[in-house]
Amino acid sequence: MTAQIIDGKAIAQKVRQEVAARVSERIAAGKSQPTLATVLVGDRPDSAAYVASKQKACAELGMGSVHCPLPADATQEEVEARVRELNADPKIHGILVQLPMPAHIDEERVLQLINIEKDVDGFSPLNIGRLAQKGRKPLFVPCTPYGCIYLLEESGVKIEGANAVVLGRSNIVGMPAALLLISRNATVTVCHSRTRDLPSVVRQADILIAAIGRAEMVRGDWIKPGAAVIDVGINAIPDATKKSGRRLVGDVNFEEAKEVAGYITPVPGGVGPMTIAMLMKNTLHAAEIQDP
């Protein structure tokens, strides 16, 4: 048995095309151009690359983007002042503060400042709180978990009634992913570094979302035959055959797992493309809320 490969690039492209069409319709109707503001504190190369890719996506889909860089030694007050300015600007529909920020910045205070209607990353405690409560809906869902669930649904994986295991409990991926699965009537187990006999727990999963940040930690014999495996991990490991001397792998040993699973995402090309696609979808939604 070889798993069906879930093509994140193709599904993300479909989302992007739908967003671009709706953006075009909005602008033709004389409504505001959906616009994303990115706040980057410092000059981490990886963070700068992520921000650049988000700006590029905005341009490709006909959306506006405003970049707000701040030096690495910016004060808490300066960062908060920038967020307040963006909250007050009616031309800005979404605000994304690139994480991580320098250690001297209180990230929680900054994120709490973002207007809930502009919280396109879905990290506001108000949005997460709504996600956690039965019968309530957040305005925005964090982009990577949103992408994970979208991949499952687009691939025809039945979530309702499934036993789901989420490997990792971060605020950015693990916990929101668990809440999204619960909202779709899965029975969810969240695993972490102190989970006893981790392989046997994972083996019960009809759906596995792996977001632990350890290269190829999940082996093929951990996977239940026919399970759907969504691999969020992006880890660089040495590879002398590559020009860079390394290659990217997920948290799941893909070659082993694909011989057991029913569905699996590759790394790269699985969850990664979905994160920016869902950010674009969230930014369009923000514009629709603020300028219906």
| Axis-axis angle for helices 272-290, 8-28 (nearest 10) | 20
Q: Give the helix/strand (H/E) hosting 249.
A: strand 246-249
Q: Which of 107, 198, 100, 190 is nearest to 145 (CA)?
A: 190
Q: Which amino acid is at 132?
A: A
Q: Are 190 and 166 in contact (CB under 8 A)?
A: yes
The Cα 150–Cα 54 span in angstroms is 19
Q: Which of 9, 33, 46, 54 is catalytic?
A: 54
The Cα 108–Cα 18 span in angstroms is 33
Taking the alpha carbons at both ends of the chain, their separation in whole angstroms is: 49
Provide the CB-side half-sphere exposure for 173 (13 A, CA). Answer: 22
Concerning whether 89 is annotated as a catalytic residue, the answer is no
Backbone angles phi, psi at 168, to 5 degrees: 120, 145
Q: Which of 118, 119, 121, 281 is catalytic?
A: 121
Query: What are the CA-CA distances from residue 257 to residues 22, 216, 253, 268 (Å)?
Result: 38, 10, 6, 15
Q: Which of 17, 46, 56, 98 is catalytic?
A: 98
Concerning whether 158 is annotated as a catalytic residue, the answer is no
Backbone angles phi, psi at 257, to 5 degrees: -65, -35
Q: Which of 288, 271, 287 is nearest to 15 (CA)?
A: 271
Positions marked catalytic: 54, 98, 121
